[in-house]
Amino acid sequence: MKLGIVGAGMVGSSAAFACTMRGVASRIVLVDLNGARAKAEAEDIAHAVPFASPVQVEAGRYADLSGSGVVILACGVSQKPGEARLQLLSRNAEVFRQVVAEVTRHAPEAILVVASNPVDIMGQVTQSLSGLPAGRVIGSGTILDTARFRWLLGRHLGIAPRSVHAYVLGEHGDSEVLAWSAARAGSVSVESFAAQMRSPLTDAIRAEIDTGVRRAAYTIIEGKGATWYGIGAGLARIVAAIAGDEQAVLTVSTVGDVLDVPGVACSLPRIVGREGITATLMPDLSDIERDALNASAFLLKQSFDSLSLSRAERASRA
């Protein structure tokens, strides 16, 4: 499968590197306004190919995305000092208006995977601009938050994170919901597993894990300026699920109805394969978790509806 990546910054290049090491694509094309940066990243990653699977890694232009099965959008502008969140959203929406038009013109059959923040809203912007079915526009959503949750639970329980089945739902951001009620280790609840291992999940431990998930990005950004390895690996996981038609259950974001909130993009466990997202699952949640998920979805819906882009798109489609 051919993979396109628009945006050769740290997130885009990390995704390209992770996809190269996993061998999930036969050809990877990096596109960036800074052609020299795209060329340098492509060449650097290509030098890892002898240690991984055979893949052709190169820089290109939008026209070179033709034939891509998946295109990752890891582009956008940075927040200016004193700039409001909605102002940043509006500027990024304008960037995406141009990018999405070019990508869909040259790679109309591609599934679009959105990585740019705020990812849920930018995913909904992309779906609105592209006119693609919702299942063919996938935001990375809480795939990384879920990985952090599983890693922290696994560390406390003394088991491999892959043996932990737990999900973070809703916004990729401060309103996200850790679905403790549905969390499992092996075949039992994490509470039962923790008790059997004599490592109880006390309120203090839960709070520590909750903070570790929610504040991870802030801690990393404080130390090195941005996060990229974790999300790069998460994007590679999504691409692998599509390329291999895995029908994998991943917490990714797409537009749909969430509990009491219609037409919003946020994360739930979703089945991902060659056709994109084909089904959405709703975990068993406590009343408190359901209320929190509703609140998270409503917050995202409000933010999207505040964009002039969304109003214009609705008018154009009316």
The catalytic residues are: 172
**SS3 of 73, please?**
strand
Q: What is the DSSP string of 3-33?
A: EEEE--SHHHHHHHHHHHHHT--SEEEEE-S
Distance of CA 102 to the CA centre of its chain: 21
Q: Enumerate residues 6+ apart whose C-beta is below 8 A from 165.
A: 150, 183, 184, 185
**SS3 of 35, please?**
helix
Q: Helices 10-22 and 35-46 meet at what angle, rounded to 10?
A: 30
- Rounded CA gap, 216 and 174, in Å? 11
- Rounded CA gap, 143 and 201, in Å? 23
CA dihedral 232, 237, 239, 240 (to 10 degrees): 140
E strands, the chain, are 2-6, 27-31, 56-59, 70-73, 111-114, 137-139, 164-165, 168-169, 177-178, 184-185, 188-189, 248-258, 261-273, 276-280
- Rounded CA gap, 211 and 26, in Å? 39
